[in-house]
Amino acid sequence: QITLKESGPTLVKPTQTLTLTCTFSGFSLSASAEGVGWIRQPPGKALEWLALIYWDDDKRYSPSLKSRLTITKDTSKNQVVLIMTNMYPVDTATYYCAHRTYTSGPFDYWGQGTLVTVSS
Amino acid sequence: DIVMTQSPDSLAVSLGERATINCKSSQSVLYSSSNENYLAWYQQKPGQPPKLLIYWASTRESGVPDRFSGSGSGTDFTLTISSLQAEDVAVYYCQQYYGTPYTFGQGTKLEIK
């Protein structure tokens, strides 16, 4: 059974850097075709894909946020980390991590999400 | 970027009636070599993460009731709920995974009439 859980600060100040961790179980990011992505959702708004990392360390980023994002994995800890620099109030959102298999397509398993508020 | 546009933005349907949600992509998400449409549908209830319902445009995820069906190809897709149940009240999103950036529709809010 695949599970994912996000962790990180609930409140960050403007201009600060956000670091979020996704801890997962039920699959290994050292196994071929496995991937973990990050998606966010501002309150009352739609979903926005941010970044994705695959088993072979292939990384993909949203072009509009690429300069602010870094995604890494720690296979031994079953964790994926997302770093977003220069946070603004518009970045206030629930941040989800989700599982994707390279060959099967969509995000099939999601974490519960973590709400991050950007405010001074 | 592939823009995903859903219609309507909101929908009210009586219990037991059919609900239809449309999704249009700004370019085709049909991968010619596999003849698969890289299109998924998700259901999101308040306070919950999205739940995968349909992928490859028409394949139901395991455990999803058969009243949910997906259809369409290329740029035009439809999610149909054949007989609306109270537990189907939610926001529904389409998503293309044809290429990055993976993009979602703006969502359709489904309510009971």
- Quick: pLDDT tens for A48-68: 999 999 999 999 999 999 999
Q: Which residues of B touch A64 (CB under 8 A)?
A: 101
pLDDT number for residue A103: 74
Tell me which residue of B29, B56, B13, B21 sits closest to A108, measured CA to CA: B56
pLDDT number for residue A40: 98
The pLDDT tens digits for B91-113 are 999 999 999 999 999 999 999 99
Average model confidence (pLDDT) across chain B: 97
Position A106 pLDDT exceeds 90: yes
Position B31 pLDDT exceeds 80: yes
Q: Which residues of B touch A46 (CB under 8 A)?
A: 93, 104-107
**Measured between alpha carbons, how far is B21 from B16 in angstroms, rounded to an integer?**
16
Percent above pLDDT 70 for chain A: 99
Position A104 pLDDT exceeds 70: no
**Measured between alpha carbons, how far is B52 from A100 in angstroms, rounded to an integer?**
11
Cβ–Cβ gap A113/B49 under 8 Å: yes
Cβ–Cβ gap B40/A104 under 8 Å: no
A102 pLDDT band (50/70/90 cuts)? confident
Average model confidence (pLDDT) across chain A: 96
Tell me the CB-side half-sphere exposure of residue B82, using CA atoms within 13 A: 7
DSSP string, B15-39: TTS-EEEEEEESS--EETTTTEE-E
Cβ–Cβ gap A49/B103 under 8 Å: yes
Helix (H, G, I), strand (E, B) or coil at A20: strand
**Measured between alpha carbons, how far is B34 from A116 in angstroms, rounded to an integer?**
39
Percent above pLDDT 70 for chain B: 100
Closest-CA residue in chain B for A44? Answer: B46
- Render the burial of B59-83: b for 16+ CB within 10 Å, e for the rest: bbbeebeeebbbebeebebbbebee
Tell me which residue of B5, A87, A31, B93 sits closest to A95, measured CA to CA: A87
Q: Which residues of A touch B42 (CB under 8 A)?
A: 47, 106
pLDDT number for residue A50: 98
pLDDT number for residue B54: 97
Query: Does residue A107 sit at the B interface (CB-CB below 8 Å)?
Result: yes
Position A7 pLDDT exceeds 90: yes
Q: Where are the alpha helices (DSSP H) in chain B?
A: none
The pLDDT tens digits for A87-101 are 999 999 999 999 998
Residues of B with a Cβ under 8 Å from any A Cβ are 1, 38, 40, 42, 48-52, 55-56, 61, 93, 95, 97, 100-107
Chain A interface, mutation test: which of B23, B37, B91, B102, most A Cβ atoms within 10 Å? B102
